[in-house]
Structure 1
Amino acid sequence: MGTKKFEGLERKAYLQIRNSIQTGDIFFASGNYPMSRIIEHFSDSMFSHVGFVFTWNDRVLLLESVEDDGVRMVPLSHYLSDYENTGSSYNGRLFLGRHNASFDTGTINRMLGKAADTLNKKYDKDEITKIIARITIGLGKHGDNGAYICSEFVDICFREIGIVFPRDSKGFIFPEHIAADANVEALFEIVA
């Protein structure tokens, strides 16, 4: 089934689904930016980015790792109205999925604790180079180095609560691997 489960999903307005979003929901993006297209091409995926959501005091926040900032937290709504403080929405498509595990308060606290421990860690730009080298010329193997691409960040947070996503044979993980996991249900495509 892979990521085909995300194709043709019902499109729902953010304000319509906002109250049904749960901590631990997985956010996927398919961008129209040059780096997004490169990631999608080389990972043979419809997705270029992944993060996960948590709700707090009537806020829906996204934890993610991005090129310029590293691991950060932003309101999910910014993707729909003020992406990267531009006053415009994200140039691409946005999706939400949900792992079928149940998250009690202790589980959520462990996952968010791991995320908090990695806030402001660097984005692993070297990892992108390694991934491209591996895919194009067959060189390289993944190694943990304290810097994270988006999918590595999500992976370590979910590993903290015993959820392990598949990786490729060289140890790399892409948004595609997380989206294709049989335990991740495709919920909907988010629109403004």
Structure 2
Amino acid sequence: MGTNKFQGIHQLHYEKAMGKIQTGDLLFCSGSYRVSEFIKKASNSFMSHVAFLFEWNDRVLVFESVENVGVRIVPLMHYMTNYENTGKKYNGALFTARHDKLIDPYFDRTLLDILVGTAIDLLNRNYDQTEIIRILTRIKLGIGQHKDNYEYICSEFVDHCFRQIGVHFPRSKEGFIYPEHIASDSNVYPLFEIIS
């Protein structure tokens, strides 16, 4: 489990975290929901979800793909105060990280427009329910392969967007990609845990 590099990292209150987050930073979630716990167990990971962040007009927005909705954009503040319109904060831990390509002082910042533009073009794409079934089949029976389509689980969405700027995250030998693959990538550096 490569995500142990996130355990025990520095915590920042949401208000201070806002000033440190940059467009392209990754958001990892370790949820306590039933589906989250299943994903963590099935992928042998500390993480259950991955998204990426975007700064806009003094706000931080989350680009993600979620069950029953697909690709969407929501304010990070909703994770902290009104997750899924419940009036409650996200039930779990939230971590930020940065790929070393975005840390490089010679990184062409205009590539972030491509990253965000790709995410915008994919808004409202379906969540890939059949991919979840394929993943479950692979885990339970040891069979199955990933199939590219225009539907995305969270990690496929992030991977697709980052590939457009030359970042390639590892995958399983069957071609699947989980939040664990992205979080444990040696080029992904934990920043802090966001707390309220």
Q: 2: CA distance between counterparts of 1:106 and 1:95? A: 25
RMSD value over aligned CA atoms? 1.0
Distance 1:111 1:142 in 2: 23
* Letter in structure 1 aligned against 2:3: T
CA displacement, residues 97-127 of structure 1 (integer Å, 9 cap, x when unaligned) = 0111135342011111111111000000111
| Structure 1 residue identity aligned to 2:20 | S
SS at structure 2 position matched to 1:111: helix
User: What do residues 7-34 of structure 1 show as CA deviations (whole Å, max 9, x unaligned)?
Assistant: 1111211101111100000000011111
Which residue of 113, 116, 129 maps to 2:117? 113
Aligned counterpart in structure 2 of residue 147 of structure 1, from 139, 147, 151 = 151
Q: Does 1:124 align with 2:125?
A: no
Task: Look up the equivalent residue of 1:57 and give its one-letter code.
Answer: N
Q: How many residues align?
A: 192
- What is the match of residue 56 of structure 1? 56
The runs of at least 4 aligned residues of structure 1 exceeding 4 Å deviation read none
- What is the deviation of 1:77? 1.0
Superposition deviation, residue 129 in structure 1: 1.0
Percent identity between the two aligned chains: 55
Alignment of 1:75-94 (within 5 A): 75-94=75-94
Aligned to 1:96: 96
Give the whole-Å Cα distance in 1 for the aligned partners of 2:47 and 2:17: 21
Paired with 2:184 and 2:136, the residues of 1 have a C-alpha distance of: 21
Preserved contact between residue 49 and residue 155 of structure 2 (Cα < 8 Å): yes
**SS state at 1:20 partner:** coil
Maintained 8 Å contact 2:169/2:182: yes
Deviations 1:46-74 (A, max 9, x none): 11100000101111000000002100000
Name the SS of the counterpart of 1:172 in structure 2.
coil
Does residue 34 of structure 2 align to residue 34 of structure 1? yes
Do the aligned residues in 1 keep the contact of 2:4 with 2:46 (CA within 8 Å)?
no
C-alpha distance in 1, partners of 2:2/2:37? 19
The equivalent of 1:168 in structure 2 is: 172
TM-score in terms of structure 1 length: 0.97
Is structure 2 residue 138 aligned with structure 1 residue 134?
A: yes
Return the letter of the residue paired with 1:130: R
Unaligned runs of 5+ residues in structure 2 are none
Partner amino acid, structure 1, of 2:135: I
